[in-house]
Amino acid sequence: MEFLLDGIRAVTPQQCVMYVVGALLIYLAIKKDYEPSLLLPMGFGAILVNLPMSGVLNQMVAGVGESQGIIQWLFETTIEASEALPLLLFIGIGAMIDFGPLLSNPKMFLFGAAAQFGIFFAMIAAVMLGFDLKDAASIGIIGAADGPTSILVSQVLHSNYIGPIAVAAYSYMALVPIIQPFAIKLVTTKKDRAMHMPYNPKHVSRALRICFPIMVTIIAGFIAPMSVSLVGFLMFGNLLRECGCLERLSQTAQNDLANLITLLLGITISFSMKADQFVNLKTLIIMALGLVAFIFDSIAGVMFAKLLNLFCKNKVNPMVGAAGISAFPMSARVIQKMGQEADCTNHLLMHAVGANVAGQIASVLAGGMILNLVPQLMG
């Protein structure tokens, strides 16, 4: 009967902390409905990988030899070796996105670019706090508010903190309705938030919708070659949506593929949430830096919109600039809600959607630029 107690005796205080973290993620997923499709498998996976002598990890079994653990195998095969899961998820995301509001108002591209400021601010702050450049860059990308990009960049750069980065990225994405109003109200007045914007969308031809993902991929390849996998898979998904002859595949990508990959990605990334890697002071610092990056992204977007208003005849509600982050469509919904709270007749949704989808493109381009620049700076 002694062997029955071996597992309990092998539990460390750090593993107990991870059980609490896992339970918290599951609670947030179920009770608060915060990104449940990802936080729930991540939370359950965090418990699985921290059980003593867990069968989901590789281990040596007496008399048998090495036993392959399923979660470790998934991580080493689909993330570490190929980044397959985050990239395949981009096909589903691309199929969900309608670039029409952006193409009818190309000025929104500027807000997508401006709202990436927090990435580089947090990256510099992380370096100043003593993180290696590869880890600092991986931490900064949390500010993109794009979980798959955060995972892919941190994996390609071989960051030591993939687990905390993934948890921070997806947690803050889920908390957009709480974080963004706080950040926006720091730099706007009620008068700013009540500003009306007429919506007169230009017609976007089918030919332009089809050519757009192809041209973006080619341009991204010239500017930031390392972004081709990120941008290419995102735009391929969008091409499935817009081509008009693959409706069934488009729907599969948006629903079945995206749901299955999200589920597998959540439980697979939990491999990097082992107690010995996760429970330390640097994890708290990473969470704090990620929050700073997220807040500064929103503030930078608002301030850029205010700057643009000094030179433009048609004024932009400053809050629309904050929608330039990648958290689609949550950020656009937050802007619409805040606009109507300031003035019940204020409708900003389509403007915010344009900025929001621009943020999708800008975040993957920023990730690609970091993948290009960091190895050169380290070399």
Omega before 86 cis (within 30°)? Answer: no
Answer whether residue 164 shows pLDDT above 70: yes
Q: Is the pLDDT of residue 62 over 70?
A: no
Q: 274, 266, 285, 282: which is closest to 15 by C-alpha?
A: 274
Please give the pLDDT value at position 223.
82
Average pLDDT, the chain: 88
As a whole number, mean pLDDT of residues 109-124 equals 89
End-to-end alpha carbon distance in the chain: 56
pTM confidence score:
0.86
Amino acid at 211: C
Amino acid 208 reads L
The pLDDT of residue 4: 63
The one-letter amino acid code at 303 reads M
Structural Rg of the chain based on CA atoms: 21
d(Cα 306, Cα 173) in Å, to the nearest integer?
Answer: 25
pLDDT tens per residue across span 179-214: 899 999 999 999 999 998 888 878 889 999 999 999
pLDDT at 67: 77
pLDDT in tens, 242-276: 998 999 999 999 999 999 999 998 899 888 888 98
With bands split at pLDDT 50, 70 and 90, how would you rate the model's confidence at 312? Answer: confident
**What is the arithmetic mean of pLDDT over 76-88?**
87
Q: Report the pLDDT value the prediction gives residue 48, as an integer from 0 to 100.
A: 94
> Looking at the predicted structure, is the pLDDT value of residue 63 above 70?
no
117-143 tens-digit pLDDT: 888 899 999 999 999 999 999 999 888
Give CA separation, 259 vs 90, 174, 266, 348, in Å: 12, 16, 11, 29
pLDDT at 304 over 90: yes
Least confident of 144-148, 175-179, 277-281: 144-148
The whole-number pLDDT of residue 171 equals 78
Report pLDDT for 222. 87
DSSP state of 60: E
